[in-house]
Amino acid sequence: MLGKVKSTIGDKDFSEILSKSFYFILFRIGGTIFGYVFSVFITQTYGANTYGIVALCFSFFIFIGVFGRLGIDTNIVKVFSKSEYRSDAGLFYKAVSKSFLVSLVICFIVYVFGEEIVVDLLVEPKPEILPYLPWVLFSVPLWSIVLISASFFRARSQNNIFAFFNNPGRFLFSLLFLLILYFFLDKDPIITVQSHFFGILVLALVSLILVYRDFNGIKFNHESHYWMFLKDAFPMMLASSAIIILSSTDTFLMGVFETNENVGIYNIALKISTLSIFFLQSISSILAPKIAKAYAEDDIKNFNKIVKFSTKINFYLSSSLIVVIIIFRKFLLNLFGEQFVEGEVILIILCAGQIINAFTGPVGVVMQMIGQQKVFRNIVIVALILNIILTITLIPLYGGIGAAISTSISMFVWNISSSVYLRVRKGIKSHFTL
């Protein structure tokens, strides 16, 4: 055992994954604390009804944002991790400009048809969302800038910067603006989404300043083939969009069939269950550029070694956290208010689904970094279709419990299918093994 510990610490890749993942986890914990304080402030100040409205708005925010990014945020990690692309400022600026404009157009279209969407298309009409919608929609293009910039720093192994933009930054600034607006200007519930907009605006400006300093200027002439870059990014966008839709379909469809209060209760249970992906996200942040580089250089031995080690660490840490969440589920739910304890069964079901994430490891990252983004896209789309069918069927019957069952089943399908594909077709063991 002591020999294994020494060899792990002595291995350059292993020690880097552990050390940098540790810092990412610290940032992630910070982000979670700010996010939870933000949510607790809303639930304790305005109640489950307002929180349900905010949760639905954030579902729109996440859902629309992934299409506007065009998969650029994922492909930038793959491309800029290669030394020949590191100084290609023109490729970055042109890509981020394209994403900003596409996001803006999509948001404008949704804004124009906002009333038809939230009133006519919902079984449970929610016209009260309309004043909130513009603030959420027009934060989407700014969020695209933040995530693409964060991915650029991830590719350059500047993981502390990536971790800040990807995790605590959004809710740190949102919480600060929320407190300022509430105590000094206005106590209207709409400040919940106004503060979110101003927080992301600040974050976007900071991210662009840091990229500007890294490239030492702005230019749009690029050395690489821009349209090939977008072509490679497109399947990643489809896969990412399917995953995002998978993660937000339950909340969105809860909004279609259920009251705002039930949406809020479900979303809090979902938020707590996703604490378990702390370690997967932190490890993946370091893993992506490393395995992309190793696979591109045909260093298969090192590639397999890194994937196996990362999967083991993720399984032990994630499964332990899931057990803790299940044991202390009532305490965690009660932090948001007594009403949210009603989501106890929902939380248990969602945690059961997260166990699959812990077992299969970073399958999505592995498949996209080795050029199998189209296969991954197809797997996730199949899981998404299954999720939509199950959610539409089960929510009217069982409410939030039905949504949780649907989410867990679809999570099982895409994780296991991806893991089996890697094992059978590529000889890569991405799942946990002793």
> What's the pLDDT at 3?
46
Number of other residues whose CB lies within 10 A of the CB of residue 277: 18
Q: What is the pLDDT of residue 15?
A: 61
Choice among 11-20, 87-96, 152-161, 328-337 with the minimum mean pLDDT:
11-20
Distance CA 173, CA 143 (A): 13
Place 310 in a pLDDT band, splitting at 50, 70 and 90. confident
Q: pLDDT at residue 6 above 50?
A: no
Q: What is the largest CA-CA distance in the chain?
A: 65
| Cα separation values, 96 from 144, 167, 433, Å | 8, 20, 40
Question: How do residues 167-187 score in pLDDT, each as one tens digit?
Answer: 778 888 999 999 999 988 878
Give me the amino acid identity at 276. Answer: S
Lowest mean pLDDT among 173-177, 234-238, 280-284, 425-429: 234-238
Residue 433 gets the label, from left (phi > 0), alpha (psi -120 to 50) or beta, of: beta
Give the mean model confidence (pLDDT) for residues 240-244: 67
Distance CA 279, CA 259 (A): 33
Average pLDDT score over the chain? 79
pLDDT of residue 9: 43
Q: CB under 8 Å, gap of 24 or more: what pairs does 224-232 form?
A: 224/79, 224/85, 224/88, 224/91, 226/91, 226/94, 226/95, 229/75, 229/79, 229/91, 229/95, 230/70, 230/72, 230/95, 230/98, 232/75, 232/78, 232/79, 232/373
Gap between the Cα atoms of 296 and 152, Å rounded: 18
- The phi, psi pair for 403, rounded to 5°, reads -65, -40
Provide the CA 58 distance to its chain's centre, in angstroms.
12
**What would the 3-class secondary structure string for 140-202 be?**
HHHHHHHHHHHHHHHHCCCHHHHHHHHCHHHHHHHHHHHHHHHHHHCCCCCHHHHHHHHHHHH
Q: Check pLDDT > 80 for residue 397.
A: yes
Q: Reply yes or no on whether the pLDDT at 230 is more than 70.
A: no
At residue 345, the pLDDT reads 92
pLDDT band, residue 135 (cuts 50/70/90): very high
Model confidence band, residue 142 (pLDDT cutoffs 50, 70, 90): very high
Top mean-pLDDT range of 15-19, 307-311, 405-409, 418-422: 405-409
- pLDDT higher than 50, residue 7: no
- Over 80: is that where the pLDDT of 115 sits? no
pTM recorded for the entire structure: 0.70
Per-residue pLDDT band for 199 (boundaries 50, 70, 90) equals very high
Tell me the pLDDT tens digit for each residue of 322-332. 899 999 989 98
Q: For residue 372, what is the DSSP state?
A: -
**198: closest CA among 169, 221, 160, 240?**
169
DSSP 430: -
Contacts of residue 10, defined as CB under 8 A and 6 or more positions apart, other chains included, come to none
d(CA 286, CA 306): 10
Q: Which residue has the tokens 């949102």?
A: 174
